[in-house]
Amino acid sequence: MATNENLPPNVIKQLAKELKNLDEIPPEGIKVGLNDDNFSVIFADIEGPAGTPYENGVFRMKLILSHDFPQSPPQGFFLTKIFHPNIANNGEICVNALKRDWNPNLGLRHILIVIRCLLIEPFPESALNEQAGKMLLENYDEYAKHARLFTGIHALKPKPKLKSGAISESTTTATTINVEQTNTSVKCVDQKNAAAPQLLPSPLAPKPENGQDYPVGTPPLVGTGVGGSKAAPALQKKESGLNKVPADKKKMDARKKSLKRL
């Protein structure tokens, strides 16, 4: 296995450039880990493609560069257990791009994309896992069942934790404030009703013409109402008594003036 010390300077420079580009603009579903001290081992996390038995899984793999890279292809291994025809039980990857179809001009990006595409379209004819290859050819549903089982056990992505604590706390606080405000409003209304004297209708007050009692706290109306109804008899007697006093006084003054003239 090569290290940065025994890799040619031009290869190190090219690898550094490619790794930086992969970090800044990663391929779809692929994330590459960087190790500035050793470019000979490159790690990557590959997301299971949608619509495949590997969906919702994350599979870690590595590329091991030989001392004469790029003249010789790197070796690829899956570190996460996976049920796949072209991936052996020890994780070794069998793909033509890393074997007979190898080209020194192929970059790391191309290699990683080809490996991810292998999860979409396996090649059971060149299987390293004979059981998976045979199952894929004879019974796809059974193969997919096994592949999903491996994915769920070994490669399932962790679900993000919900911030339920903060949400619950804020919700509880808001609810407490609303309840306190409601209780305060009820207390204020009760105190106001207790302080205000309740007006009861006088037992001598006349009832409405329809025979219904007045509501509690509502004094009976006195005077001419709508339609020209007459005033209460008690008020009319009082007003007539007040009118008689000035008339009697005028008669007494007139008599006094007549006596003085005589």
- Residues annotated as catalytic are 94
Q: Could you tell me if 229 and 216 are in contact, meaning their C-beta atoms sit under 8 angstroms apart?
A: no
Please answer whether residues 69 and 11 qualify as being in contact, where contact means their C-beta atoms are separated by less than 8 angstroms. Answer: yes
- What's the gap between Cα 12 and its chain centre? 46
Helix axes 140-150, 130-138, angle to 10 degrees: 140
Instruction: Give the pair of three-digit tokens for residue 120.
Output: 């979409």
Residue with tokens 């990006």: 109
- Break the chain down into helix, strand, coil percent, rounded to 5: 45, 10, 45
129: DSSP letter? S
* Size (the chain), residues: 262
Beta strands in the chain (DSSP E): 30-33, 41-47, 58-64, 75-78
What CA–CA distance (Å, rounded) separates 233 from 95?
115
